[in-house]
Amino acid sequence: MQIREDLRNIAIIAHVDHGKTTLVDQLLKYSGTFRENEQVDERAMDSNDLEKERGITILAKNTAINYKDTRINILDTPGHADFGGEVERIMKMVDGVLLVVDAYEGCMPQTRFVLKKALEQKLTPVVVLNKIDRPNARPTEVIDEVLDLFIELGADDEQLEFPVVYASALNGTSSNEPDEQEETMEPIFSTILDNIPAPEDNSEDPLQFQVTLLDYNEYLGRVGIGRIFRGSIKVGQQVALMKKDGSVKTFRVTKLFGFIGLKRIEIKEAKAGDIIAIAGLEDINVGETVCPIDHQEAMPIPRIDEPTLQMTFVVNNSPFAGKEGKYITSRRIEERLLTQLETDVSLRVDPTSSPDAWIVSGRGELHLSILVENMRREGYELQLSKPQVIIKEIDGVRCEPIERVQVDVPDDHTGAVMESLGSRKGEMIDMVNQGNGQVRMEFKVPSRGLIGYSTEFMTQTRGYGIINHTFDGYAPVVSGQVGGRRQGVLVALEAGKASTYGIMGLEDRGIIFVDPGTEVYAGMIVGEHNRDNDLTVNITKEKHLTNVRSATKDQTATIRKTRKLTLEEAIEYLDDDEYCEVTPESIRLRKKILNKNEREKAGKRKTV
């Protein structure tokens, strides 16, 4: 069997914020891919605005580096389990993985998630212990943790013999020993070349290219990115596209692109093992196979994890509808959702009995909130219902998604966290005292118990706690109430502007969400009640002016700081009878029934 010694295909996998994207930056710089005078941003691979703002990778991306006569294709993958669909497809394109682990934090929930995917594909691992320069780094213990995780996930003997490189991506240093760091990435490159298998060179066989990622270009239309598993391809060649539904389309390859650094370069041909982009067919989709017209053989479509959470997206029908957004009609919203389906394989969009509402299912709250955030930035207005977990029937038993939750908290907060997760039907599976006053606990909790939990967790731990969770699997539905909001809300009685006087009169009733001067409408949620029932309030109330001079007239009215909810917090906060109204400029909470009397009647009918 011939192999392509001049090529390596690897994916970089890790938990969120363990330094994948920063490490790719350093590999690009050290390899001489950039010109000396080229201006390169930090975390250059995180190219869209949301990725830059949040410091997370949302979309998988590819780059290539030339190092010592070898082309190394590198795929940077997301660490969040919500973007697991991206990770899963990438594993099909590569022969090995660089597992990046924080030298202090060690193995985290998403480390387990991404490593499990890699081991299932029988990929060759290289472990990079990053952030070795941290004062509290503990390399020996972390390597033991990584080994335990490999064993637990069923790694074979070859995979257990993984090489380890110690690095500080931020400082651009690495070495094969934990206490000797040098300003070079040479040890990582050498380890990749020595350990990651080179792809097979079967370029004389009939072509097989599978689309793994999609891109869009206004001049070229849809562009399919993937790996050539067999054979070769040239510009101008007539090929067949094996569609998911079994149909076959023929098309001519108009352009081929390879990758080097952060750029796409036009190429004339490519062969087995290469990762390339193909333009020429407008309805090419993820998982479909390109092959010769006279040798049609489809590759298996990658299995993608099913969605676990769903929300109803509704056309905005609030009194403020159309004031801030460009796209507000059901036709526009539906078109946008269907466009998202073309590139997001983990998303589902189902129609409802109403033409103005759709059930959108995704891998988690972050997955869905990123979609909503992108839509509002593009000028869309819409309303969202409370997220619901997706219940499945497995072997005749109703099952719900379960999350593996890891919390790091100061030891004086452990009791409160254990009690609150216990009330949400959480089951503790591990507890380790890490010294320096920190405790790490691991739980299995029903996904519905975690909806809205992060705010409560941060309050309980006074902001010192860290919580991470990842999808673990399905288990029989736990009976009884799980999670949910305990507090009622303050609901505006009438339309107008929130006044300082009105807000001051309500401050002892709860926490206010709106500033003075904010436009409100009847039925809009303006605060959280400090009791468990809803209260309709007059937040627009103005002080009556009289000609009697007040003894305290020179005192300035001061109000407490209002609480501003982010999009994720607003979605988590929702109750069954509420919507989150999202526009390019505002995020508002409202009752589904705006009229106070009708709302009370509906509430009475519900309790009967």
Residue 583, marked binder: no
Residue 463, marked binder: no
How far is 278 from 227, CA to CA, in rounded Å?
10
**For residue 252, is it within any domain?**
yes
**For residue 600, is it within any domain?**
yes
Residues 440 and 416 in one domain: yes
- Domain endpoint, select from 257, 277, 292: 292
Residue 140, marked binder: no
Residues 130 and 23 in one domain: yes
Query: In the prediction, which pLDDT does 41 show?
Result: 43
**For residue 536, is it within any domain?**
yes
- Domain endpoint, select from 476, 497, 531: 476
**For residue 464, is it within any domain?**
yes
How far is 307 from 302, CA to CA, in rounded Å?
15
Residues 166 and 233 in one domain: no
User: 136 lies in which domain range?
Assistant: 7-195
Residues 419 and 275 in one domain: no
CA dist list (Å): 438 to 18, 143, 204, 466: 19, 20, 59, 11
Residues 13 and 43 in one domain: yes
**For residue 362, is it within any domain?**
no
How far is 503 from 307, CA to CA, in rounded Å?
41
Residues 429 and 528 in one domain: no
Number of domains present in the structure of the chain: 4
* Inter-residue contact 403 to 482 (CB < 8 Å): no
Query: In the prediction, which pLDDT does 84 show?
Result: 55
Residue 66, marked binder: no
Residue 173, marked binder: no
Give the CATH number, domain containing residue 273: 2.40.30.10
Give the CATH number, domain containing residue 24: 3.40.50.300
Residue 133, marked binder: yes
What is the widest separation between alpha-carbon atoms in the chain?
A: 99
Query: In the prediction, which pLDDT does 514 show?
Result: 92
Give the CATH number, domain containing residue 446: 3.30.70.240
**For residue 299, is it within any domain?**
no
Residues 150 and 24 in one domain: yes
Query: In the prediction, which pLDDT does 106 show?
Result: 85
- Domain endpoint, select from 476, 504, 535: 476
Residues 22 and 157 in one domain: yes
**For residue 354, is it within any domain?**
no
* Eight-class DSSP state of 288: -
Residue 132, marked binder: yes
Which residues in the chain show pLDDT less than 70?
A: 1, 32-61, 78-86, 88, 216-218, 262, 303-305, 483-484, 545-557, 607-608
Q: From the centroid of its chain, how far is CA 491?
A: 32
How far is 420 from 453, CA to CA, in rounded Å?
9
Query: In the prediction, which pLDDT does 115 show?
Result: 86
Residues 54 and 189 in one domain: yes
Residues 438 and 494 in one domain: no
Query: In the prediction, which pLDDT does 406 show?
Result: 84
**For residue 304, is it within any domain?**
no
Residue 194, marked binder: no
Query: In the prediction, which pLDDT does 43 show?
Result: 38
Residues 512 and 471 in one domain: no
* Inter-residue contact 308 to 390 (CB < 8 Å): yes
**Residues 291-315, buried b or exposed e (16+ Cβ, 10 A)?**
bbeeeeebbeebebbebbbbbbbbb
Residues 189 and 214 in one domain: no
